[in-house]
Amino acid sequence: MTEWWLWMYVAAMAGGVVLFTRWRADPRGVPGSEYRVAIAIPLWSGFWYLVMALGGGRAEVAGLTLYWARYVDWAVTAPLLLVALMLTATHSLPGRCWGLTSALVGTNLVVFLSGLAAELATDATIRYTLFTIGVLAFLGLYGLIWGPLRTHAHRQPEGIAAVYTEAAQLLSVLWVGYPLFWLIGPTGVDLISSATTSLLFVLLSILTKVGWSILDLGRLRALSDRGHLTVV
């Protein structure tokens, strides 16, 4: 059953690539860089889920199945999502906040490595200590999104600032699911089965990597249709 959900994910990522490629052909005032990032996310993620659907990308660790391909996916797609959010936050500004983006990506790296190390740990105390470190870094990431990056976003016209707020809200809500599902799954307190955890991660990742980009790009394209968006 798990493999069927993985194939569903691959199909969703393929659909995302097709949709964003079509949108890129008619950009409606949205810079090409935003479309390239949006296309790269499902393209990379879909490839690694295809590996898992074909039976690869996993290993047995302490009696549990570690889907290491999922971490390879997250190592690239999470930073790309943050870059996409930064591009929206600075769309009409003269420069991109690459220093702040580096801080976002660096903080996310701590979250990522903590989660991976926690899943590899066999001792419960070490596992939950690493998980706690990851959660603290996760909160720091939210602080950057809702602090300095939001400040930059609100230096833009009201319509674009509103798009940033919506995109940041949706990403913040969706990303809470990752540590939550990790905690209640077999790697944590084991309230739900491995198959259920995989299903939840699949559905959450579809919403995060395709659904979020549809909202972000779709809202920017709608602003362009109303004459409120300009390429810089």
Per-residue pLDDT tens over the stretch 73-118: 999 999 999 999 999 999 888 777 888 999 999 999 999 999 889 8
Class of domain 2-225: mainly alpha
- First-to-last alpha carbon distance for the chain, in angstroms, is 47
pLDDT of residue 119: 85
Whether 3 contacts 53, CB under 8 Å:
yes
Domain ranges of the chain: 2-225
pTM: 0.91
Q: Which residues pair with 66 in a beta bridge?
A: 59
pLDDT of residue 229: 55
Q: Which residues pair with 61 in a beta bridge?
A: 64
pLDDT in tens, 137-192: 999 999 999 999 999 999 999 999 999 999 999 999 999 999 999 999 888 888 99
Question: pLDDT over 90 for what percent of the chain?
Answer: 72
Residues whose CB falls within 8 Å of the CB of residue 93, separated by 6 or more in sequence, listed in order: 152, 155, 156, 232
pLDDT of residue 17: 98
pLDDT of residue 230: 52
Instruction: Give the distance from CA 34 to its chain's centroid.
Output: 15
Q: Compute the C-alpha angle 131/134/139, nearest 5°.
A: 130
Residues whose CB falls within 8 Å of the CB of residue 107, separated by 6 or more in sequence, listed in order: 137, 140, 141, 144
CA distance 95 to 97: 7
CA distance 121 to 126: 7
Whether 210 contacts 15, CB under 8 Å:
yes
